[in-house]
Structure 1
Amino acid sequence: MSVDPSLAPVECEVLVPCPPARAYRLFVDDLGTWWPLGTHSVFGAEGAVAVTDGRLVETGPDGATAVWGTITEAVEPEVLEFTWHPGAEPDTATLVRVTFAAAGPGGTRVRLVHTGWQARPDGAAARAGYDRGWPGVLDALAAAA
C-alpha cells in the first residue's frame, strides 16, 4: 500500500554546533530564546513559548495561552517526541519526533520527522506548510547554538 505523498511525513535535519546533550537542552529548556515567534506562533512576535509541565505552551502578551502539544517521549539527550496542534484542538494533533545524534567533533545532527497528517481536516495543505516551515525553525535552533 503506497502512502499518499500529500500526507507523507515531513522530514528535515540540521547540523547544530554543540554536543547532543546541549542541543537537546537548548530545544527543551531554551525554546523561547530561539523559536521564530514572529513567523511561527499563535500570538505573534510579542508572545513567549516554553516547555511547561510536559507541554509546549505559548503565552500571548495578554496572558492568554495556547498549548501547542504534549511531550509523549523524552529520552535525554536522544529523543524528544510530542503531539502538535498549535492553535487547534488536541483531537487534530499530529506527531513530531526530534532526534539528536552526535555528528563530527562536538556537533549534533538534529532530525525532525512530522507525521499524522490524516488527523487534520486540512492534512495535505498543513503538511505542505510545515514542509516549508520546519527547515527555518531548525535553522533557528542551529543559529542559537
Structure 2
Amino acid sequence: MSNLFSDAVPLPAEPDPAPVLAYSVNVPVPPDHAYAGFVDNIHLWWPAQNLSIYGVGSFFDLEDGTLVETSPENEEAVWADVFGREDGCRLDLAWHHQLPGGTQTELSLRFDRIPDEGTLVSLTHGGWSTAQQSHTERSLYEAFWPTALEKFKRFMGAIL
C-alpha cells in the first residue's frame, strides 16, 4: 500500500552515506601493550599540531570513559566517549567533532595479535552522513588518521 494513487510522485532517493575510513598499522608489541599505549599514553603521541582545539601545548587524556583535550589554561574539550571496550582487544568511541555544527560518528579500534610480529592496530571511522558538514569533517580525518597512526606506531617502537 505504499502507492495508492497512480499519479503519486516518487520520493527522491536519499544519497548513500560517505564510506567508512579504515586504516591499520603494525606495532612490534603484544596487543595488551599496544592497547595500553593507545589508551593510557595518548598524551605522549597524539599529534596535537595536526588536530587540536587548544594547540600544541594541550594535553590529551582518555580517562573515565572520555577522551578530553585540556588547554594550558585548564579549558576542556571532549572529543569522544567510550561506548564499548574489551581491554587489550578493542575500543569503540562515539566521536564528537569539534568543528562548529559537527556531527557524531563512531570510531573503532581493534588490537589483533600477529604471531611473531606484534599487533595489527585497525581503525575504522564511520557513521558519516550525506551532509556537506560531514563530508568536510570526513576529509579532515582522511588526512589525520594516517598521520596519527604513524605517530602511534613510532611511539610503540616500530622502525619506520
TM-score, scaled relative to structure 2:
0.82
Q: Report whether the alignment pairs 1:75 with 2:90.
A: no
The verdict on how the C-alpha distance between 1:135 and 1:12 changes in structure 2, with shifts beyond 3 A counting, is same
4+ residue runs over 3 A deviation = 88-91
What is the letter of the counterpart of residue 144 of structure 2? G
TM-score, scaled relative to structure 1:
0.90
More helix by share: 1
The verdict on how the C-alpha distance between 1:46 and 1:91 changes in structure 2, with shifts beyond 3 A counting, is closer
RMSD over aligned Cα atoms = 2.3
Identity %: 31
Aligned residues, how many? 144
The verdict on how the C-alpha distance between 1:90 and 1:129 changes in structure 2, with shifts beyond 3 A counting, is closer
**Residue equivalent to 1:29:** 40
Aligned residue for 1:32, secondary structure, equals helix
Correspondence for 2:62 among 51, 63, 81? 51
Decide which structure has the larger Cα Rg and report it. Answer: 2
Query: Offset of 1:88 from its aligned partner?
Result: 4.9
Correspondence for 2:107 among 93, 96, 100? 96
What is the letter of the counterpart of residue 98 of structure 1? L
The verdict on how the C-alpha distance between 1:94 and 1:136 changes in structure 2, with shifts beyond 3 A counting, is same
**Cα distance in structure 2, aligned partners of 1:26 and 1:89:** 30
**Cα distance in structure 1, aligned partners of 2:72 and 2:60:** 11
The verdict on how the C-alpha distance between 1:89 and 1:122 changes in structure 2, with shifts beyond 3 A counting, is closer
**Cα distance in structure 2, aligned partners of 1:83 and 1:116:** 10
Query: Offset of 1:133 from its aligned partner?
Result: 1.0
Aligned residue for 2:80, secondary structure, equals strand
Contact 1:12/1:135, CA 8 A, preserved across alignment: yes
**Cα distance in structure 2, aligned partners of 1:43 and 1:83:** 21
Correspondence for 1:114 among 108, 117, 125? 125
What is the letter of the counterpart of residue 32 of structure 2? A
**Cα distance in structure 2, aligned partners of 1:143 and 1:40:** 18
Q: Deviations over 1:82-101 (max 9, x none)?
A: 01114258982111000000
